[in-house]
Structure 1
């Protein structure tokens, strides 16, 4: 068999599987995903070891289960073509070459994930501390075209599922509206959109995230409508680079994801290459970063202005005040208090996967002083500079432009 999968199937596909019968036998409009990837990987591995009959058996079963799984149809048709004609159809011209290349990329991404799938005792290094109110955390590795779903069990993340995922057709590192790239960073789901309220290209529903967040806006990034969503209803899955910047799952996988998470309180970490560490190392790291925030609160309570302001970056800007203005303001306000007491609840800390010198802290702050009391949700962006972590922004959580 020639390297790179084998056929220009999309011309065949219209003949083999008419679109109007794709879902006809499905009680569930979007069908099911359980076992599909396992059958595909088994078929590809059998193909690689020249076990063609076994590969055909796997792929025949899969194409019957999911007639709209284009990659499975591609491999299946090409094995048949290779047996019948002595050569795969994919090397006999470049009809639909771009679409075929996309399917080949999907096969490579799925195989890469199978090779590099982390063991159960490994955790993403950038999930620093989980809030007790966050029941699930989403981590997306675009290099692997994979979405990982973690459950928060007593403050420790436990991997409970993972899904193949497509991202921006122009890659990652979104900078401006229309660049067709997926943003990298730490985000939060802001809403849930049902399939009946969306165009069919979004499939079984959508979960908008808060891009551009306050840090994106500070860097001059533009754009809107970055969602985690399903796939166009006429197909099962898409090539790795297929969206306009969103994260796209198969429709059954999106339904499964959506059924588990709380859309009002789920972080989404998006990175090009997620770094994994041993669970014990993760636990030690989590303690360290939790101490960082508690020390900031203690310095504030001390009413020693130099101790307090040393926690802030010279590049601090909250949209109202730069560092010098903030310095003067806090010196005056804190100096007028007889006492200050700071309470912290529901603290979460996440590091930018592709910028290890940037951490996002979110918590419920209780403030008590001699002349003012109040509670609020605060979000801080901490930068590592001049040998220590410092706050470059603090304020209310941003909703982005969903």
Structure 2
């Protein structure tokens, strides 16, 4: 298992890694390096290989996601078994690149024989009822990341410690530029098509410029930093103090 999920200091970040190549869901400790796998389960994935791009393509998306909601009977149709946890597909990146679709879940099934197949879903990640119960007890659905890879063991460069050092430095430089009120440098960390809270890149710059004038001192410290790498993009989890 590649070993370069990067952290600043130990703190629990329990989540899931889905390896589409091996049809495996791993419960992992992202705060450990090398990455620690505590449990692994076979999963049934989307009927069609490849990364999900549009509604109805029957593919399991690849990327880094988070859970939205737990659903159980009677709010859950019988075909989804004892429990489902919805995911935030399409996420911000998916929407940015024009990917469509919805309803990508981690769920169980009332048809155990489905688990004998590697590919038997419309894009969801499917495990059996007992496994679903165990997974749900191991994670925090409000905070646990779900990293879905095409093939986890063929991306050593993306997962290299050297690359993670570069990513970590970029995040720290971003925080430093904010603290120093270096607006020109600060804005270099943002994509030209950036949008947040209803603000485009120009509005964001104007907003930050206003804050720089409003506060005599701005101090931004980053703690509990965990970087989850992916061939498509990286996700940084941290506490800003």
Q: Same fold (TM over 0.5)?
A: yes
Report the CA distance between 1:227 and its aligned residue. Answer: 0.8
Q: Normalising by structure 1, report the TM-score.
A: 0.53
- Alpha carbons of 1:218 and 1:340: their partners in 2 closer, same or farther (altered >3 Å)? same
2:239 corresponds to: 364
- Higher RCO structure (Cα 8 Å, ≥6 apart): 2
CA displacement, residues 346-399 of structure 1 (integer Å, 9 cap, x when unaligned)? 33322234x2xx222233333xxxxxxxxxxxxxxxxxxxxxxxxxxxxxxxxx
Task: Give yes or no for contact 2:226–2:236 (8 Å, CA) kept in 1.
Answer: yes
2:147 corresponds to: 269
Task: Give yes or no for contact 1:189–1:265 (8 Å, CA) kept in 2.
Answer: yes
Report the CA distance between 1:140 and its aligned residue. Answer: 0.9
The alignment's C-alpha RMSD in Å is 2.9
Rg (Cα) greater in structure: 1
- Alpha carbons of 1:196 and 1:345: their partners in 2 closer, same or farther (altered >3 Å)? farther
Q: Normalising by structure 2, report the TM-score.
A: 0.83
1:290 corresponds to: 168
Q: Does 1:326 align with 2:204?
A: yes
Q: Counterparts of 2:198 and 2:58 in 1: how far apart (Å)?
A: 32
Q: Counterparts of 1:287 and 1:128 in 2: how far apart (Å)?
A: 8
2:2 corresponds to: 123
Report the CA distance between 1:310 and its aligned residue. Answer: 2.3
- Alpha carbons of 1:218 and 1:199: their partners in 2 closer, same or farther (altered >3 Å)? same
Which has the higher mean CA deviation after the structures are superposed, 167-176 or 188-197?
188-197
CA displacement, residues 273-328 of structure 1 (integer Å, 9 cap, x when unaligned)? 114688xx855554443332122111111112222222223332336333333334
3-state secondary structure, aligned to 1:137: strand
2:224 corresponds to: 346
Q: Does 1:256 align with 2:134?
A: yes
2:103 corresponds to: 225
Indicate the structure with greater helix content: 1
Q: Counterparts of 2:16 and 2:192 in 1: how far apart (Å)?
A: 32
Task: Give yes or no for contact 1:297–1:342 (8 Å, CA) kept in 2.
Answer: yes
